[in-house]
């Protein structure tokens, strides 16, 4: 799934569809940032990040927490995620 694939969900009048879009978008961004950090650790980036590494670690931590909250909410509200 790509961010483009979530466009229709994000614009849906159904809150459960918008909820899915929010979750999928966050998960996509989280996975991409995590992959970037892995490449950074291996010295495989083709650019130099502007922020220090610890900022990205903090961001990943907060994103993971937010994903966890959304997953818990989805279970309670009966929203089917992937």
Q: Say what percent of the chain tops pLDDT 70.
A: 100
Provide the mean pLDDT of the chain.
Answer: 97
Residue range 41-66: mean pLDDT, rounded: 97
Q: What is the rounded distance in angstroms from the CA atom of residue 21 to the CA atom of residue 19?
A: 5
Mean pLDDT of 24-52: 97
Residue 55 burial (10 A CB sphere; 0-12, 13-18, 19+): exposed
Q: What predicted TM-score, i.e. pTM, was given to this entire model? A: 0.92
pLDDT number for residue 24: 98
- Residue extents of the structural domains in the chain: 4-77
């Amino acid at each position: 799934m790509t961010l483009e694939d979530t466009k229709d969900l994000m614009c849906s009048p159904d809150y459960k569809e918008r909820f899915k879009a929010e979750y999928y978008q966050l998960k996509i961004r989280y996975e991409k940032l995590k992959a970037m950090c892995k490449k950074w650790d291996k010295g495989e980036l083709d650019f130099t990040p502007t922020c220090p590494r610890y900022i990205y670690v903090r961001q990943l931590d907060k994103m993971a927490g937010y994903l966890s909250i959304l997953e818990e909410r989805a279970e309670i509200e009966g929203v089917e995620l992937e």
